[in-house]
Amino acid sequence: MTTPVAQSDFRCGYIAIVGRPNVGKSTLMNALIGAKVSITSRKAQTTRHRITGIQTREHAQFIYVDTPGFQTRHSNALNRTLNRTVTNTLTAADVILFTIEAGTFGPADRQILDLIPTNVPCILVLNKTDRFKDKKAMLPFLQEVAAQRNFAAIVPVSAKQRFQLDVLENEISKYLPINPPVFDEDDITDRSEKFLAAEIVREKVFRFVGEELPYKSTVVIEKFEEEGRLRRVFAAILVDRDSHKAMVIGQKGAKLKEISTQARLDMEKLFGGPVYLEIWVKVKSGWADNEAGLRAYGYE
C-alpha cells in the first residue's frame, strides 16, 4: 500500500451520508467508492453500524461515512443505539450529504434535517431520480425542498445508475478541508475483512428470508482464516427462536444454501480470491434485549 503524496492543496475530510431508512444511502456510498462495502436491502434498517468507505483521487481523499437510517417512530434499545450513531457522526463530519428520495419529503425527513448542524456544509442529495422519466417534473419538488434550508449545493442523482455522481463528488470536494490523506490510496474501507464477511452474510439473510425475520437477527464470524489468497470463513446466524431458525434454513436446507452461495460470491468479488464458507444457524434468545447486549455484538 502507498499513501498518496499530500500536495499543498490536497483535500481530505469526512462526509456523513444521512437520511431516513431506505433512501439509498448504502447504495450511494458503494457507487461513490466503486466497491460494495456497505450492505443493501429493500428491508429498511439494514445498516446498523457506521461504515466508512474511502475514495482517493489525485487531489483529494473522500472518507464517506454511511450511517443507519434515523429512526423516528419506535423507541427501543436497537433504535436508540442506531440514532446515537447518526448524531455522533454528524458532529464529526466535514460535509454532510442529506439524502432523500426524489419526490418525497415527509415529517421523518424534516426531523432528520433539523438535527443537522448549521455550521457544517450540507449538500442535498435527491436520490432515485431514475424513477422520473421527465426530469423537469422534479422541479416543483426540488424548489419546495430547497426552501427548507440554505444548502451548500443541491444534486439530483441516481446511485443505482451512477447518474451525476461525478457532479456530486465535485461539489463535495469544494468543502473538504486542506488536509493530508488519512488512508492509503488503495484502501476502500477501514473495516476488517472479518467484519465485511459478517455484513455480507447478514445482507443475504434479509434479502432471501424477507420481512418475516426480526431485525435483531445477526451474524457472528466464529473463525476467519487466510491461506494465501484463500479465505476460510465460518459464520453463525443468530436468531431468537426455533421458528426463525427454520425460516433461514428453509425446506431441505434450500434457503441456507442460497444464502451461502450468494454470500460466498460477494466475498470472492470483494476480497479478490477464493472463499470457503460454512454457515450455521443458532438460537440465542435475549442477546440484544438491551443496549449493553448490542454493544457486546459490535453495535456502536
- Let me know whether 258 and 166 are in one domain: no
Whether residue 259 is found in the same domain as residue 197: yes
Domain CATH code at residue 202: 3.30.300.20
Which helix (H) or strand (E) element contains residue 93? Answer: none
Q: What is the mean pLDDT of residues 207-229?
A: 81
Residue at a domain's end among 122, 144, 175: 175
Q: The cell 466503486 sits on which residue?
A: 34
Q: Is residue 99 domain-shared with residue 245, that is, in the same domain?
A: no
Residue 110 has pLDDT above 60, yes or no: yes
Q: DSSP secondary structure string, 166-220?
A: HHHHHHHHHHS-B---SS-TT--BSS-HHHHHHHHHHHHHHHHH-TTS-TT-EEE
Q: Tell me, yes or no, whether 199 lies in a domain.
A: yes
Query: Which of the listed residues 143, 175, 207 is the one where a domain comes to its end?
Result: 175
Residues 254, 170 share a domain: no
Residues 142-156, mean pLDDT to the nearest whole number: 93
What confidence tens digit (pLDDT) does each residue in 234-285 have?
Answer: 999 998 888 889 989 989 999 999 999 999 999 999 999 999 999 999 987 5
Whole-angstrom distance, CA of residue 185 vs CA of residue 2: 6
Report yes or no: 235 and 194 within 8 Å, Cβ to Cβ: no
Q: Are residues 230 and 271 in the same domain?
A: yes
Both 167 and 47 in a single domain?
yes
Q: What is the mean predicted confidence (pLDDT) over 141-152?
A: 92
How large is the average pLDDT for residues 126-150? 88
Cell, residue 80? 436508540
% residues pLDDT > 70 (the chain): 79
Q: What is the mean pLDDT of the chain?
A: 83
Question: Does the pLDDT at position 73 exceed 60?
Answer: no
Residue range 191-197: mean pLDDT, rounded: 89
Q: What is the pLDDT of residue 74?
A: 47
Domain containing residue 168: 11-175
Helix axes 254-271, 242-249, angle to 10 degrees: 70
- The predicted model gives 222-238 an average pLDDT of 94
Q: Is residue 198 located within the same domain as residue 171?
A: no
Looking at the structure, tell me whether residues 118 and 253 fall in a common domain: no
Summarize the confidence of residues 161-182 as an average pLDDT: 95
Over residues 20-45, the pLDDT tens digits come to 888 998 899 999 998 888 766 554 44
User: CA–CA separation, 200 vs 222, rounded Å?
Assistant: 15
pLDDT of residue 44: 47
Nearest one of 122, 294, 138 to 112, comparing CA atoms? 122
Same domain, 162 and 272: no
pLDDT at 90: 77
Domain finish residue from 118, 140, 175: 175
pTM for this predicted structure = 0.75
What is the reported pLDDT for 158? 94
CATH number of residue 49's parent domain: 3.40.50.300
Mean pLDDT value of segment 100-109? 91
One domain, residues 17 and 162: yes
Cell of 40: 443493501
Residue 186 lies in a domain: no
Total tally of structural domains belonging to the chain: 2
Sequence-distant (≥ 6) Cβ neighbours of residue 170 within 8 angstroms? none
Residues 206 and 156 in one domain: no
Q: Looking at the domain assignment, is residue 159 inside a domain? A: yes
Q: Is residue 263 assigned to a domain?
A: yes
Band the pLDDT of 47: cuts 50, 70, 90. very low
Q: Is 158 a domain residue?
A: yes
76 & 155 share domain: yes
In a domain, 102, yes or no: yes
pLDDT at residue number 258:
95
